[in-house]
Chain A
């Protein structure tokens, strides 16, 4: 396949996945903001979302106050914020448009229709209907795109690069969401509401019922981390993402990609053989930061080996 085609497919998948995860993150923050807490604590939460994407200054250029509505407006509909859901969907659509012939007509149409529908909703309408409905819509559209992609495309490199992009992005995003929420929850002083907050985090990653099924026990921070990091059979866990990345890299391997494969293998082995106690012993934040750094390196390697060869 053409390197440029692979590049567009990979980034289409990354942006689509990013839009979905952003919807998940904003949704969990919104849900948590309904748990009784001080206004200051609430706004701290929204500030953390901006920090997560290093957007504090961009935000401050336009908005004078960090509050629910401003952050949502900025992260949902702001065309000038490159990290907003709006911008992610647009970028996914532009990448798809550039190589629309490389995918099935249904796949392209599912991406294009998402963009067309998104453009027709302004933020006031979204607020009026309730933001959760909008986040559900984003997740649904992402599911449609994924379903149509997997349901219609030939199992060749086209699909492998799309999957690879989705897995890299998802691994990074799950680590980010967990890192941020864990930080906030650990600093929380309100023990009684913890159940709701951890519950919301799990729900945002579609892991609430899974948790119940796997542990059949009270929700504890340690188990939540274990589930989201080490559980191989949870589709959004770091382990599952690393699994998929290794498999995709094997399928697309070329003469330049040995080092990238090795690094992915090391990352995967670390997750495969880790114990959650060891993760906590070294510090969860440090562990997640290191994971995100390695995902970043993998992304760079993939780019050099396959997408933008020198």
Chain B
């Protein structure tokens, strides 16, 4: 094991980190053919269960398995406690920011964030100005991407406040590990995560419109061909609530109903897995067949709660990301405990000059991009790819940000050639309602190609079970 990257399992001298000791003993005693058999068993089981995702850009309807790796990513209790505190702080500030910019805009008035960055942002929804949402919460479900880099320090890579996905893999990975290797769980005190759906439902119920005692909560999906459809149906099933499509809902007198076999039934809270643009053809994208005409009006009238709220995208936009530490100071009067990755904003001439001169070493991202699409990883790109990106940046610099190429930490991973280190990240899920709740850990995504830093499932990434140890 070289010390080129921080490794989750081994320290720089190649010695085992203490929290991996029991696992490493178990792994060493495990015959390789048994491991291979277990890995094959996992693949078959995932296929049978149909834990697949649709891949965009390939033949329509293509379903693929997200590779699951059987070597867990282990996080010691103390480290998780720090991460959790930092995540709670960050999400509290982000919600406060969203409430502020749709009401008094104090942070803009104080000059802490340039007003035009917020007000001219495509994700800023004027329709939301002055609208009061239950408990003042906008990002009910946040998926915050964390990485560890350099000598081991943690960074927030991005805040996903729109429709973050992946929690179903977190839960299925745990289920799979317990099925394949039950003996591991008797040797380790692994913090449980399987209560996430209960926590989510409880969280959604607490933000029901005022005066609704026993709210009807539903999951709104774009449909079976959406890449995250498995997760939508999984969560609806786990929570025991209806999975609806736009055509199952209608609005009458600013109230939302679903069409059931027993006639119309009122809906109070919608956990929507559909982007703002598609929610209501009367208000947003008129071509959208996925949404519900009149939904925005019902929402503004306070007759239904949307989770996440409309307009939250302005807070997780990559052009706003550099200001999150400032939000924490402004709204909470605290110093941020989680670090941001240093970010150059290409709309700024001096930043642009530096970035264009250093493209081969940097990562450049589209401000509105997601899922690992439309980004440049300088060190892993050909000269032609870099020049192509340079032209795109020069044509529209405000669309891009750049960051140093982080030396993401690695974790031993089961690959064709045996066990080898692969880069990974972590997406914890933070639930906000009357209070903030989370399950320990998150979804660990791993780049399966040697040397690759892109962990997105759409780009060949896999997942690992994530263990937060309780002792």
Residues of chain A at the chain B interface (Cβ within 8 Å): 1-6, 94, 97-102, 105, 108-109, 112-113, 116, 157, 161, 252, 254-255, 306-307, 309
Q: Known contacts A101-B237, A102-B243; decide if A157 and B48 are in contact (CB<8 Å).
A: no
Q: Which of chain A's residues have a CB closer than 8 A to the CB of B112?
A: none
* A255-B223 Cα distance, complex, nearest whole Å: 29
Partner of A309, one of B224, B237, B245, B259: B259
Q: Known contacts A101-B233, A102-B243; decide if A6 and B50 are in contact (CB<8 Å).
A: no
B47–A4 touching, CB < 8 Å: no
Q: Which of chain A's residues have a CB closer than 8 A to the CB of B243?
A: 5, 99, 101-102
Partner of B50, one of A97, A99, A307: A97
Q: Which of chain B's residues have a CB closer than 8 A to the CB of A97?
A: 50, 224
A109–B48 touching, CB < 8 Å: yes
* A1-B242 Cα distance, complex, nearest whole Å: 8
* A102-B221 Cα distance, complex, nearest whole Å: 14
A116–B47 touching, CB < 8 Å: yes
B260 proximal to A (CB < 8 A): yes
B50–A2 touching, CB < 8 Å: no
**Nearest B residue to A306, CB-CB:** B261
* A177-B243 Cα distance, complex, nearest whole Å: 38
* A97-B260 Cα distance, complex, nearest whole Å: 19
B339 proximal to A (CB < 8 A): no
- Give the Cβ gap from B309 to chain A, nearest Cβ, in Å: 24
- Give the Cβ gap from B71 to chain A, nearest Cβ, in Å: 26
Q: What would 19 more interface pairs be, CB under 8 Å, given A101-B243, A254-B263, A307-B261?
A: A2-B258, A3-B260, A3-B261, A4-B244, A4-B245, A4-B247, A5-B242, A97-B50, A98-B223, A98-B224, A99-B233, A101-B232, A105-B49, A105-B237, A109-B48, A109-B50, A116-B48, A252-B261, A254-B262
Q: Which of chain A's residues have a CB closer than 8 A to the CB of B261?
A: 1-3, 6, 157, 161, 252, 254, 306-307
* CB-CB nearest 8 A-B residue pairs: A101-B233, A101-B237, A306-B261, A101-B236, A3-B259, A98-B224, A6-B261, A112-B50
- The interface centre, meaning the residue of B224, B232, B234 with most chain A CB atoms within 10 A of its CB, is B224
Partner of B48, one of A1, A100, A113, A309: A113
Q: Which of chain A's residues have a CB closer than 8 A to the CB of B224?
A: 94, 97-98
B248 proximal to A (CB < 8 A): yes
- Give the Cβ gap from B201 to chain A, nearest Cβ, in Å: 14
B263–A2 touching, CB < 8 Å: no
* A2-B220 Cα distance, complex, nearest whole Å: 12
Partner of A112, one of B48, B234, B245: B48
**Nearest A residue to B233, CB-CB:** A101
Q: Which of chain B's residues have a CB closer than 8 A to the CB of A108?
A: 49-50
A109–B49 touching, CB < 8 Å: yes
Q: Which of chain B's residues have a CB closer than 8 A to the CB of A252?
A: 261
* A198-B237 Cα distance, complex, nearest whole Å: 47
A2–B242 touching, CB < 8 Å: yes
Q: Which of chain A's residues have a CB closer than 8 A to the CB of B242?
A: 1-2, 5
* A255-B264 Cα distance, complex, nearest whole Å: 12
* A3-B237 Cα distance, complex, nearest whole Å: 17
Q: Which of chain A's residues have a CB closer than 8 A to the CB of B233?
A: 99-101
Q: Which of chain A's residues have a CB closer than 8 A to the CB of B258?
A: 2
**Nearest A residue to B245, CB-CB:** A4
User: Which residues of B235-256 are within 8 A (CB) of A?
Assistant: 236-237, 242-245, 247-248
* A108-B224 Cα distance, complex, nearest whole Å: 14
**Nearest A residue to B265, CB-CB:** A2
**Nearest A residue to B259, CB-CB:** A3
- The interface centre, meaning the residue of A1, A4, A102, A306 with most chain B CB atoms within 10 A of its CB, is A4
B48–A2 touching, CB < 8 Å: no
**Nearest A residue to B50, CB-CB:** A112
Q: Which of chain B's residues have a CB closer than 8 A to the CB of A1?
A: 242, 260-262
Partner of B234, one of A4, A101, A307: A101
B49–A4 touching, CB < 8 Å: no
Q: Which of chain B's residues have a CB closer than 8 A to the CB of A3?
A: 248, 259-261
**Nearest A residue to B236, CB-CB:** A101
**Nearest B residue to A157, CB-CB:** B261
Q: Which of chain B's residues have a CB closer than 8 A to the CB of A254?
A: 261-263
* A309-B224 Cα distance, complex, nearest whole Å: 21
Q: Which of chain B's residues have a CB closer than 8 A to the CB of A112?
A: 48-50
